[in-house]
Amino acid sequence: MSRVKLAILGGSALATPVLFDAMGRGGAQASYQVFLHGRDVERLELVYQVSKAIISNYPNLDIQISYTTEIEKALEGADYCLNQIRVGGLEGRAYDETFPRRFGIPGEETVGPGGFSNSLRGIPKVLEIARIMQRVSPQVVVLNLTNPSSIIQYAIRCYTNLEVIGTCDSPVSLMELLAKLLGKAKGELFFSISGMHHFSWVTSILDSDGIERLMEVLDRLEEIPKIGVDPELVRAIGAIPGPYLKYYFHPDRILAETEGRTIRAHQLMKLSDQMLEAYRQWKPGDSTAMLNQRGAVWYDKIVAPTLLALVEKRNQELVLSVDNQDHLPFLPADAIVELPVTIEDGKITKTRPAVLSPFIQALISQNCVYEMLTAQAIAENDRQKALQALMANLMVKSFNQARGILDEVWPLEREPVFRVIEIPTSKENPYGFKVPSLHYGNSLLERYHPQEEEFILITMEELWEKVKDRFSQPPIAVSFVKNLDWYQLEALDRSLPQSSLVVGLGGGVAQDAAKFIAWKRHLPVDLFVSITSVDASVTKSIAARAGGHVTYIGFIVPRNVYMDYELIQSAPPRLNRSGVGDILCAHVALWDWRFAHEQTGEVYDAEAVDQMRYWIDQVSKNADQIRDVTPFGIETIMKAFEGISIICRRFGSSRPQEASDHTFAYNAEFQTGKSFLHGELVALGSWVMANLQENQPEFLEDVFQKCGILWQPRDIGLTRDEFIKVLSTLNWYQTNFGRRYSILNRVQVTPEFIQKIISHLSF
């Protein structure tokens, strides 16, 4: 009896031996000839040795295994090929998981801009290999694991005549999760699930008696937070989304939840180093428990079952990605769809697509357009198609985002690569990244002569009337802003003429609005600070409001920031003192950070903590200068803003500066619908949270008093009833909209605590 030849591309992946363990536990009966293919001989040898040991644990498992760096040798005459290559390695994945954040989009290796970038590296290499298969093993059946799976699969099907089946463990894990909720084993339930890779939906769950159980799941969604999509939305849709749909529905939450956390690629790099060392030390007879560290459940849940069903002609229903044909009639016949299929006699004989609502059909259709255009654009080196693809991606919200992403990742050369951009350090810029130039002095408005002849000015009407005669070089257009509503900012951008520079004049609203316009238009932005109330002038983040909640929608580093002493001192002192709140909030944020580290293992940087405490001390030492709004007091606040911004950028997020203190502030705005001076509201939130933390609230109260910042509810416009409502809903707000793990994730704000706090406040 001839052996079934299986070629494993990416065979040096350290998790590969798990496949043979899964085949052994799955009772594989056929005789196999396995070729591991990879480029790193040392890793191949190590994976080969551990794989042999795994195989030897199963006396009835008939597998002859070898390894090679010659791809034609691995593929020649192969009956099956498992494609699990990762072009660019974990360094490429790290890039995919990070660069989208610069465009206000979560980074992930299979969806959104990260998936597009991953495709750029993967498709050319996979097609090169596929053409070798056509020549040396035209009969081969390819099982694809390389991500983004369905885009890779579509590219192979579109540009070769090979048979390709996509495998993913996500549908299996989702069905197991839902079955556990219902107190059943997965096999006891009948799931209707359809869609595309990482874009599938469960629309029906029948038990063995034919009773529909979907409504019970919809009623108990709060018990399965792993789905990651707001229960209200899931109930409105009436179907259970796969776990990756959260990236499309809640990108703002994903950005907030992942900010400051170690990305998955870096976790895997560390784990790979540990596993590689364990493999080097490993000897026959040693435990193979280290394999479980990688969590490579896909071999057991879907790859081995699919392989054994095909090779050994087992009758089995599995959820796989296949050619659409007419299974989902609203999609093109050559699209790649994910749905339950039955394997009989080694062939996929029938499929069981779900009935999908028009809403779900519309989402899947748009995702399908994105995937097909992406594969075509990359295979054909067509930048215009690539732009269409990104515009069709549901995570990309605007043309400027799509164009910026394309400028970032689309290669000038034919061979797609990923770029890691490093800014060289110098005496002028010792940070390794771009920072604003800060300017202090008198008459800066009069002395402002930008090199650009035409600029637009974003400001407030009252302020403009006060300073318009001070500009020696007038703007070509002036626009007044009142709030940071995202849709109003978009409308503002459409209303303004073209220019070569954007200038912001005012407080946080004007500064963020100017940064938004500059970011949208890919223009430089200069900022004039009229009050030292917020740090928007020195940060790269752009804060807007969407649905009443704060969201960060892009990043831009201001070119110049001007502190005109006369301008700032002409504002009411209260406005300038309020900036203290956005600095001293770090007192609470640092406590939350340590707490998150202890509770969840979140990365904690002691050096960053020490640097943050330095700026807290500077504010405390110079409180009288801040109170009197002297030039030195102005510089103290602005230099603290600048220093804290640099600390946060070095760390990778604003985790060192804000946590439960800002959650209080954002919830207060949401619950009351009012506008507050940001620093004053954050100061109150910091004092409240310091009490909940038992973290020296008296220190904050003392510095607030010395600086002259208003923070009592009576002074900032918060009534007693409003304050109670804000505190009563804090845990709810943290659960649904919290940007960072904090004390609010573990400690409830009780009625007793609220009454205790109220007794110390003035209303």
pLDDT in tens, 340-376: 999 999 999 888 888 899 999 999 999 999 999 999 9
The dihedral through the CA atoms of 9, 14, 20, 22 has a sign that is negative
User: Tell me, what's the pLDDT at 486?
Assistant: 80
Assess whether pLDDT exceeds 70 at residue 644.
yes
User: Tell me, what's the pLDDT at 419?
Assistant: 37
pLDDT tens digits for range 708-737? 999 999 999 999 999 999 999 999 999 878
User: Tell me, what's the pLDDT at 350?
Assistant: 80
Please report the DSSP string for 462-484 in residue order.
HHHHHHGGG-SS--SEEEE----
User: From the CB of residue 641, how many other CB atoms can be counted at a distance below 10 Å?
Assistant: 25
Q: What is the Cα gyration radius of the chain?
A: 29
Residue 351: closest CA among 327, 377, 378, 315 = 327
Distance CA 470, CA 463 (A): 12
- Could you tell me the residue ranges of all domains in the chain? 4-168+264-338, 433-571, 585-606+638-763
Mean of the pLDDT values across residues 85-95? 94
426 falls in which pLDDT band (50, 70, 90)?
very low
How do beta strands 541-546 and 549-555 pair? antiparallel
Assess whether pLDDT exceeds 70 at residue 414.
no
Distance CA 582, CA 201 (A): 43
Distance CA 193, CA 672 (A): 42
User: Tell me, what's the pLDDT at 418?
Assistant: 38
CA atoms within 13 A on the CB side of 761: 27
Assess whether pLDDT exceeds 60 at residue 51.
yes
Backbone angles phi, psi at 329, to 5 degrees: -65, -15
Would you tell me which CATH number, out of the four given (3.40.50.720, 1.20.1090.10, 3.40.50.1970, 2.30.30.90), belongs to the domain 585-606+638-763? 1.20.1090.10
422 falls in which pLDDT band (50, 70, 90)?
very low
Instruction: Flag the least confident range among 274-283, 358-367, 422-431, 746-755.
Output: 422-431
User: Tell me, what's the pLDDT at 425?
Assistant: 35
Mean of the pLDDT values across residues 490-494? 87
Q: What is the mean pLDDT of the chain?
A: 91
Strands (E), 413-558: 437-441, 456-459, 477-480, 502-506, 525-529, 541-546, 549-555
Mean of the pLDDT values across residues 158-174? 96
Assess whether pLDDT exceeds 90 at residue 459.
yes
Percent of the chain with pLDDT over 90: 75
Percent of the chain with pLDDT over 70: 95
User: Tell me, what's the pLDDT at 651?
Assistant: 77
Mean of the pLDDT values across residues 507-522? 91
More confident residue, 653 or 705: 705
Whether the pTM exceeds 0.85: the reply is no
User: Tell me, what's the pLDDT at 256?
Assistant: 67
User: Tell me, what's the pLDDT at 552?
Assistant: 67
550 falls in which pLDDT band (50, 70, 90)?
low
User: Tell me, what's the pLDDT at 739?
Assistant: 75
Assess whether pLDDT exceeds 50 at residue 420.
no
Of the chain, the end-to-end C-alpha distance in Å amounts to 88
Mean of the pLDDT values across residues 225-252? 93
Backbone angles phi, psi at 420, to 5 degrees: -110, 115
pLDDT tens digits for range 598-634? 988 888 889 899 999 999 999 999 999 999 999 999 9
User: Tell me, what's the pLDDT at 548?
Assistant: 64
96 falls in which pLDDT band (50, 70, 90)?
very high
Assess whether pLDDT exceeds 70 at residue 415.
no
Max Cα separation, the chain?
A: 94
296 falls in which pLDDT band (50, 70, 90)?
confident
Q: Which two tokens stand for residue 334?
A: 């050559």
Amino acid letter for position 344: E
Mean of the pLDDT values across residues 287-315? 88
User: Tell me, what's the pLDDT at 488?
Assistant: 86
Distance CA 676, CA 665 (A): 9
260 falls in which pLDDT band (50, 70, 90)?
low
Backbone angles phi, psi at 627, to 5 degrees: -60, -40
The CATH architecture annotation of domain 4-168+264-338 reads Alpha-Beta Complex (3.90)
Query: 433-571, what's its fold?
Result: Rossmann fold (3.40.50)
Stated length of the chain: 763
562 falls in which pLDDT band (50, 70, 90)?
very high
Mean of the pLDDT values across residues 494-511? 93
User: Tell me, what's the pLDDT at 637?
Assistant: 95
Backbone angles phi, psi at 232, to 5 degrees: -60, -40
